[in-house]
Structure formats: structure tokens, C-alpha cells
Amino acid sequence: MKGWKKIAAMAMAIGMVASLAACGNTSSKQEGDDNGLKTVESGKLHMSTNAQFPPYEMTTDDGGFEGIDVEIAGAIADKLGYPVVLRPAYTLGGSGGGIAHDEEELVEILQNGLRLSRVGQVLVERCIAGWKEIEYEVMRDSKGNCITVCNMENIDPVGVHTGDSIVVAPSQTLGDKEYQMLRTSALNIISELNITGGCNVQYALNPDSFEYCVIEVNPRVSRSSALASKATGYPIAKVAAKIALGYTLDEIKNAITQKTYASFEPMLDYVVVKLPRLPFDKFISAKRTLTTQMKATGEVMSICNNFEGALMKAIRSLEQHVDSLMSYDFTGLTEDDLLEQLAIVDDMRMWKIAEAIRRGIDYDTIYNITKVDRWFIDKFAIIVEMENALKTGELTVDLLREAKRIEFPDNVIARLTGKSEREIHDMRHANGIVASYKIVDTCAAEFAAETPYYYSVYGSENEVEKTAGKK
């Protein structure tokens, strides 16, 4: 437990620039000059901590953090510079935390965080809001065998709790170097902490460099584990339970293929999108802005063979009377008002980005305000372009086929083209534009699936095998 505390303290130190890599079995310490990096080596874990931001008066002899009062927190915030992130210890869903932009907000959030923390501890950290947020779900057994089950990317940048973020799996905007760097880091972390079972590692990645920080390490099956398990078909909870009983990954059979083992890393040949189910339709007076404190009361997950289709499926799965990126009306806003609204992170941010695209606001402007990656902005633009094509052009078979490929529902197509849903339905079936079903098999069709489950797509081969038995 003491070793865990020390590494947790290092991993959450103020202004950390983590560079986790395999190194020798040493326990040496090297120090650079005042403007350089201090390197700490602990077994196989190598971390570089920015010497500019030491953990002022926050560390104890055993590597943990002390409870800190308002005066000390204010001094640290002044040294780091506002905004700062406040993270209470031992609270779920980021309860009691937040981003403080000035001293008044610092006092308010800190006092509430100290009250909610079971041990009276709050971390005051350098704010890295705007960086990419990436998660890795990792499994390890008692013999040290490690795999990454899934990696996930938040469309929302750091600053929004991952439970309130729009999440896509696998990551869509990471280059191979970034992907492998974070994957290696996650495997090193779970090995150094000697965790057996499931582990979730969350990272913040600077979009302009290869600098990254470890946000947190959850050495347990978490809410993100459920998403990763559903997204990949890999039974994380079941495998973790068997590992607890003493099995190793190469002894646990994959229940879907019945041929491979749990040591075989899942492969995805589709895209998964998770949207948070935020309860503002019921709590109409609640503050709709999203920060590091989780507000979602549920989430929906969709699968498709393209990002646009997965997003459109997820939107209508929310059951909040929304079915497209036109469901909220921002046409009454001036362009200046819309730009101000883009800076507000709330449950309608996706629809505001779509409205900005309709207005012809360029990608760079939207990115600079929202920090949503340009790749995702371009995908929103593809959906908006389809709206315009359906609204202004003739509904040809090819246009209808493309609209269904990116999962425009019949009622939205009918509304945009001025036709009835029955007309759209009949036109689809007359031209063979019907849903087919693909397999979630954990191995991208490399092995036959014995107990798969399916997702629907348009414009692709049907992978369902008909059976002759009684239904």
C-alpha cells in the first residue's frame, strides 16, 4: 500500500509531465538545473516531473498528500497561476471538485471539496484544460502478462469529467507514435503498481506536442470498464474475477470465439460512440455547464462502421426527443452570440458546433474556442452537408443510400425533403437500401465467432448466418 501511495503521489504531482517507460531495476535520483527536469526512477517506472512546479507543502513522509487549508491552497494557486484544478480525495464522479478561475471560486470549491472528502484532502493542480483526454483499459494477471483491452478518446477536451464527455473507441485522432507511447505507459503503470485484474488509466495529451500527464489510475473495474467491455466484446469483469481466483490470461478462454484466450488483445473494425445521458430535461433549473464534477445519470452507446453513423445512432438513443444535429435551434443567435455560446461547455455543445458550421465559421475558429479536434469538427460538417443536400437537392437513390450509410433516420430525411416517412421507406426498400448486421467478435473477423452479438449498418455485407432451428 505504501508503494501505491508514493506512485499515486508522483502521478498526481502538480504540473507533472509524465514520461513513463521501461528502465532498469534501479532506485536512483537525478537532478537537473532549476529550469530543467528532475528525473525519478523507481523500479521500472520512469517519471519526469517539471521542476518548475514542485508539490508545495503537499507531500508527507509516506508519499501521500496532506489536507490543505484555504490559505495554503491560495498560495499554491498564485504560484501555479489561475485557473487551477481542485480534486478532492475519496469522492466518486469528481464530487466536490472543479476548475477555479479566481480566488473566489477557489475558496468556494475548496471548502466544499474538503467537506466532501472522507479524509479531508484536496489536490490543487496545474490546469491543463484543452488537452486531449485519452483512456486505456488494461488487464494484468499474477504472472505479469499484460494487455490493453481498449483505448478511448474523449471528443471533449480535458476539463470535462469523462463521464460527461462524448467518448469514441478506438481513438480516432492519435498518430501511431502517440498511441504506442500511451499504451506503453499504461502497461508500465499497471506492472509497477503490481495490479492484478482490470485497471483504467486516464491521460491528458498536449495536442501540440508529445507531452502528456497521467490524470488518474483506477486499479479496479470502473464505469469506463463497462463501456470498454461492451465496445469490444471482451468480458472485463468476468476475466478480472477469474484472475482473482488465480487464473492467468493465457488460461482463460475467449467466450465469443471459443478458440482464442483472454491474452489476445481485442481488435475493433468498427467505431463506438458513447454519449452521456444528462438529466437537465428533468432538473430544468440545474446549472447546465459541465466541469470536472460528473452530472450525467446514465449513458448510451452505439456501434457503426463509421463515426458519423455511430454519432447519429447515439443521439436518437438518448430518448430526449432529439434525432439529429438539428434538434436544438440556435438560428436566432447572432454570430457574436454564437461564438460566445461555443465557449460555454454544456450539454448542447455538439449542436452549437453544428450551427457554427452551418454559418460558415471556419474550423480553426471553432477549434480555438472549443478545443474539439478538427477531425471531429470535420465529421460534424459531413452531417451538416448531408442536411443541406437533402434540403436543397433532389432525393436520388445515391443520395438516399449515402444518407442511410451515415444513419440519417427516415423521419429526418422525410422532414428535410418534404416527403412522408412512408415514401422514404418505400423508396429504400424498392432500391435494396436496408440494414445489414455485422458481428462484434473481439478479433475483427480473424476467427469465427461462436457467441457473437451484432450491430446494424447500411451499405455493407450482412454477416448474420441464418439458422434453421426453432426461433
Q: Amino acid identity, residue 189?
A: I
Closest Cα to residue 358, out of 402, 401, 391? 391
The helix/strand/coil state of 261 is: strand
The helix/strand/coil state of 459 is: coil
Please give the chain's pLDDT, 471 residues, in tens.
333 333 333 333 323 333 222 222 223 333 333 333 332 232 222 233 333 334 333 333 333 333 446 778 888 888 888 888 888 888 877 788 888 888 888 888 888 888 888 888 888 888 888 899 999 999 999 999 999 999 999 999 998 988 899 999 999 999 999 999 999 999 999 999 999 999 999 999 999 999 999 988 988 888 888 899 888 888 899 999 999 999 999 999 887 767 778 888 888 889 999 999 998 888 888 888 888 888 888 999 999 999 999 999 999 999 889 999 999 999 999 999 999 999 999 999 999 999 999 999 999 999 999 999 999 999 999 999 999 999 999 999 999 999 999 999 999 999 999 999 999 999 999 999 999 998 887 665 555 666 678 899 998 888 887 777 776
All cell numbers assigned to 281: 430535461
pLDDT for residue 448: 62
pLDDT for residue 471: 67
pLDDT for residue 375: 97
Sequential DSSP letters for 437-451:
EEEE-SBTTSS--SS
pLDDT for residue 25: 29
For residue 92, what is the enclosing H or E element?
none
Measured CA to CA in angstroms, residue 288 lies from 145, 251, 279, 348 at distances of: 43, 48, 9, 9
**What residues contact 419, with CB distance under 8 A and at least 6 apart?**
395, 413
pLDDT for residue 416: 96
What secondary structure letter does DSSP report for 316? H
pLDDT for residue 388: 96
pLDDT for residue 103: 87
pLDDT for residue 64: 31
Cα separation, 457 vs 454, whole angstroms? 10
290 within 8 A of 178, measured Cβ to Cβ: no
Cα separation, 116 vs 112, whole angstroms? 6
For residue 460, what is the enclosing H or E element?
none
Cα separation, 442 vs 453, whole angstroms? 10
Sequential DSSP letters for 317-374:
HT-SS--STTSS--TTS-HHHHHHHHTS-BTTHHHHHHHHHHTT--HHHHHHHH---H
